[in-house]
Amino acid sequence: MTAVRAFRADISQMNELYAFLTDTLRDAGVPKKIIHVMELVTDEIFSNIARHAYGSDPARDAEDAVVIELKVTDGVIEMTFSDRAHEFNPLSLAPPDLSKGADREPGGLGIYIARSVMDDVRYSRREGRNVLTLVKFTGDV
């Protein structure tokens, strides 16, 4: 099963994004506990794109500012986020220093969380778009 949906890079799109994600995964038979993990990661990645990727660029309001593709096959979920913002590889960020607690520098937790709970995370730049692919193994879905 494959589903694709485009969104504006705006936090106000989160409810529609959650509905798309949850409906698609539920229809594919993905267990609730895996859906919750995917919701967490989606929140972190989409929020970062919406808040930081485009800055004040009016392209953030384009209907295809963020395109999300979900593929569910043979116990594997592959979720791809692509955006037209300036080139940025979030995997190049150093992991946050969690030992400092509340005194740590802000930022970096979203991709850290994604890398921690996903089985694979990849970045590429294709056709002028940042492409972040996240893979989660679910067993026999």
So what's the pLDDT on residue 97?
65
For residue 115, the 8-state DSSP code is: H
Give me the domains of the chain, ranges plus CATH numbers.
Answer: 2-137 (3.30.565.10)
How many percent of the chain have pLDDT more than 90? 79
Q: In 3-state terms, what secondary structure has residue 32? A: helix
**Confidence tier at 141 by pLDDT (50, 70, 90):** very low
So what's the pLDDT on residue 114?
93
So what's the pLDDT on residue 139?
75
pLDDT higher for 49 or 109? 49
Mean pLDDT, residues 112-125: 95
Tokens standing for residue 80: 């791809």
Q: Name which of 67, 78, 114 is nearest 2 in CA terms.
A: 78
- One-letter amino acid at 87 equals E
